[in-house]
Copies of this chain bind each other. A is one copy, B any other.
Amino acid sequence: MSTVAYENLDKLKSFAELKRAARVELRSVLESDADRRVGAYSAPITTGMAFNYAAKAVDDTSLGLMHRLAEEAQLLEKYWALLNGEVMNTGEQRMVLHHLTRGKIGEGITANGRRLQQFYREQHERVFAFAERVHTGEIAGSTGKQFETVVQIGIGGSDLGPRAMFHALENIVVHNYGEQPLQARFISNVDPDDAAAVLAKLNPETTLFVLVSKSGTTQETLTNEAFVLDALEQSSIPGLQPRKHVVAVTSETSPLANSSEYLDAFYIDDYIGGRYSSTSPVGSVVLSLAFGPSIVQQFLDGAHAADQATFDSSIDHNAALLDALIGIYERNVLGCSATAVLPYSQALSRFPAHLQQLDMESNGKRVNRFGQPLNYHTGPLVFGEPGTNGQHSFYQLLHQGTDIIPMQFIGFRRSQLQQDLEFEGSSSQRKLNANLVAQIVAFAVGQDHEDANKAFPGARPSSLIHADRLTPQALGALLSHFENKVMFQGFVWNINSFDQEGVQLGKILTKRILSQEAGGGAAIEALRRLLAV
């Protein structure tokens, strides 16, 4: 056990001081001190990628107090404790080891006599070898045809992260490496229209399904597996063996493990939370099949590089730590209840949905890690859509609404596909980024106007993560940055960011309804009639 202390946020002296500190006049300081702020208020995430917080409502005084808060709350010590295998998931009494799936840290950690980093690496190696054999055709469909499409069946962390990563890489991989080895699709919802619509466009003979459920008991995923297997049976293709078109990603103790009926199985364990599992086989199987192992290795390396940058004990250079602390300041001092994630990159169109799960499922908690109710706010609502699309949608409220919603912009100097056109004096990429810069300034500085309807109050804070281009490494670093930010915020709030007890009651009531058990209660009996269940 480590010697770190776990205190509630409102017990910390530095937090009390941060609340008393003078508020920053963002409207004026961003203009009056622009060069210094944009230059100095920047921290590296990995080579060529940085977190810039010049347009956040902070100054040297408040940043100094955040530095003290980080020390008083022992945030880096807690990160080290986590990496050293301390039981950080206190509710479920588990270690939290997703960083080890990148394959480069936590070598000494063992469970049941097994070195876990080595175990995770071996699984990736098995995944890579499997993908290569599929790509060469050595492993083929049960009727002898080469696989052309991979379909991930999973929900929550087994869907949102891998799906966001797939969409982020799809175009750049095709551009740089030619055709994708396999096309990819996803089935997640228990709504039968989801699976039916995906299956309608597939050839069963050339499709490989990846069934992802750590516990092997997820209702939606097992239902969709049955749905898919039934559809394959119904196709009546001579010689087709449906289960030989399925690989499982699960834990070794799950009902799905070691089923000789599947084509193969790859393993994770209880130390990898679903929403933190994109760098485990939960993500690496579908991504290796779709893009090839070398792309996935670059993605893992990017995540590791950002993990390493997060060791930096100087807050000024620790992007994830800074991002976390500024978010705490906005949530618990400025009183903001939501955060918008706004990637100026079409490839990141589903990245906000992943962050929504990562952040809200991790930190949407009302008790501390010891199970005691808290009397301060924890995780904010997280939402977003890609810019410039959002500008023509909800930005109206962000600019002129009655609540202040802090923002996190993400931008890249170059596009992924490098196909562009000069039109009216500028390329599309330049227009995209000009819009991004204009929004940061419009939100922060605002504009006076004699017509109040055309006035912009400004003082809307935003940060900017920027890099040259959205490559597999950059994507891995971006993923890790937010994982580590969320982790640090959980430490500050003194909560357990790694369980999700809030999903249990719905599961119990659903089972009660489906089993027609009595005792569901009057509300269930009255409501079920409306939906014929």
Contact = CB atoms under 8 A, between A and B. Distances in A.
A197 B171 contact: yes
Given A411-B530, A426-B514, A437-B509, 13 more contacts: A31-B523, A91-B453, A159-B389, A196-B415, A227-B423, A357-B394, A366-B400, A379-B397, A383-B383, A434-B528, A435-B506, A437-B527, A438-B513
Given A381-B383, A392-B157, A526 B400 contact: no
Contacts of A509: 437-439, 441-442
Contacts of A527: 34, 38, 54-55, 437, 440-441, 464
Given A383-B381, A421-B230, A433 B395 contact: no
A415 B34 contact: no
This chain's copy number in the assembly:
2
A365 B226 contact: no
Contacts of A144: none
A427 interface: yes
A452 interface: yes
A71 interface: no
Interface size, A (range): 35 or more
A395 to B, nearest CB: 6
Contact of A377 (B402, B428, B452): B402
Interface stretch (A94-102, A186-194, A277-285, A294-302): A186-194
A398 B30 CA distance: 35
B377 A499 contact: no
B453 A526 contact: no
A501 interface: yes
Contact of A466 (B191, B366, B530): B530
A405 B381 contact: yes
B396 A364 contact: yes
Interface string A385-397: 1111101111111
A46 B299 CA distance: 50
Interface stretch (A75-83, A305-313, A367-375): A367-375
A15 to B, nearest CB: 16
Contact of A394 (B356, B366, B391, B394): B356
B191 A415 contact: yes
A429 interface: yes
A155 interface: yes
